[in-house]
Amino acid sequence: MNAGHNSAVQPRAIITGAGTINPLGSTVSETWAGLVAGKSGIAALGDAWTKQLPVKIAGQVTADLSEHLSTREMKRMDRCGQLALIAAREAWAQAGAPDVDPERFAVVIGSAYGGLGSTLEQDRTLAASGPRKVSPHTLTRLMVNGPAAWVSIDLGARGGARTPVSACASGAEAIVQAAEMIRSGAADVVIAGGVDASVNDLVITGFSQIRALSTRNDDPQRASRPFDGGRDGFVLAEGAAVVVLESEEHARARGAGMLGAVAGGAVTSDANDIVAADPAMQRRVMQKALESAGLAAEDIGFIHAHATSTPVGDKLEGQAINAIFGAEVPVTSTKGHTGHLLGGAGSLAAVVVVEALRTGLLPGTLNVQELDPEVDLNVVTEDAHRLQPGYSPAGLVNAFGFGGHSVALVITGA
């Protein structure tokens, strides 16, 4: 690897655990099996409230959360917090429940909308039945920082519970923040990732009003089509994904299993438009992530693009990737399988990259029937692509969000 050109390279933050719950599965292994098999977790919505909506499809978690959580947790927590806690417990268990000083143990879990579901539910209860029927848990359920707080309480983390709120870049930004805490010496162990649970009428209507969602209601599993020439918008989804990061010294001292490492990352703001992305800043954030990892473009073996399946967004990102990496590096986006998890999207992509590095397989981009001619990239379209022997053991994750939030992560093998 070309690591000599940057003298400011920081120590790696080691990944020792990963967890997720999303439309494809309630664990990393279930999710990975679905990805490499080319399955979709997107389905028609059967709820009565969808009848008047222009979009009637989404990616929903189908697992019974009460099988993972206590009655008290189900009552006190918004679905967003519940999903985050389930994913965090899986990651913590895989990491071996590290013995760490609580004040050297932190949580960073981002979200775009937090407990919006509880906000809508309780507002409707207030309007229909009056104030006495409003839940006493309303305020703590709707807090955007709720998921981070619940995870810190559950696992005893006293080194900080942070919540990046940067739209669809929230989960990836959380991992950047966590890695920075490890590298600076502020923490020995950090649980980091993202979550959202906003499959509801308000969010679907809002995105529909700006024509961001696919309207393929009659073909839900083929609706999300990153980089395809016929894509017509993204598919809303819910879910959580987190990783456990440790300092290399701490991980080695306890003999931890090492899944990979966050070698570098960057966060930028476009300062351009509240919705429209700036491809110049997308290029810039990828370049800064490479610099922070001490790597060059040719050191990246594959890329997990943000690529949500919107007509404009995928094209602009494709052009930005091509400008830095050229047209040969394998590129995928797993949003065709899962839909768009909003704040959980970037952290789920990070988990996918970890598994790809571990197995040598890269899940394909589902539903690409004909690559957009304006996207000059080596988009992986088969169910799973076997990475070539000798490929660079580093993957890049992109995550972009409304407000001009741009994040890139460089993840390497352990």
Active site residues: 168, 306, 340
**How far apart are alpha carbons 301 and 168 in whole angstroms?**
24
Structure tokens at 256: 């931890």
Q: Is the dihedral of CA 269, 272, 276, 278 positive or negative?
A: negative
Which distant-in-sequence residues (6+ apart) come within 8 Å of 414 by Cβ?
Answer: 14, 15, 258, 259, 260, 261
Structure tokens at 289: 């992530």
Residue 189: closest CA among 258, 254, 251: 251
Structure tokens at 409: 């992560």
Structure tokens at 64: 């019974």
Burial of residue 46 (CB within 10 Å: 0-12, 13-18, 19+) is exposed
**How far apart are alpha carbons 310 and 211 in whole angstroms?**
9
3-state SS assignment for residue 87 = helix
Tokens 């848990």 -> residue: 137
